[in-house]
Amino acid sequence: EAGVAQSPRYKIIEKRQSVAFWCNPISGHATLYWYQQILGQGPKLLIQFQNNGVVDDSQLPKDRFSAERLKGVDSTLKIQPAKLEDSAVYLCASSPPAGGPQHFGDGTRLSIL
């Protein structure tokens, strides 16, 4: 089965610019997650979708971050405007409807200059 697809793999922008990341989960996986992984730390959950509805976005900095999953399949995460502290790897994961382990994509490494 195809894994979780993410793009781009790398992105370099200047602070105050905007950036968007894309994720396509494993087919049939109802739950989709976005994580932020800062260098030297474990992943931190930003937002969790169940189909196209938000289950948990308590850790999402809503003044600058937004995410959507319009058709309950792929998802985009946007940062506008970016700050230096947003430099991190952004990981997308998905899990099947009945629960079970989360499967991760390779991530997007974001560098803010």
Partner 1 sequence: GNSVTQMEGPVTLSEEAFLTINCTYTATGYPSLFWYVQYPGEGLQLLLKATKADDKGSNKGFEATYRKETTSFHLEKGSVQVSDSAVYFCALLNFGNEKLTFGTGTRLTIIP
Interface ranges with partner 1 (CB under 8 A)? 4, 6, 31, 33, 40-45, 48, 55-56, 91, 93, 95, 99, 101-107
User: Residue 63 or residue 99: which is nearer to partner 1 going by CB?
Assistant: 99
Two structure tokens written together for 57: 């976005």
Q: Least Å distance between CB 1 and partner 1? A: 14
Q: How far is the C-alpha of 93 from the C-alpha of 23, rounded, in Å?
A: 9
Nearer to partner 1, 59 or 66 (CB): 59
CB of 91 to partner 1, least distance (A): 6
Question: What amino acid is encoded at 39 in this protein?
Answer: L
CA–CA separation, 65 vs 19, rounded Å? 10
Judged by beta carbon, residue 48 or residue 75, the one nearer partner 1 is: 48
CB 34 within 8 A of CB 44: no
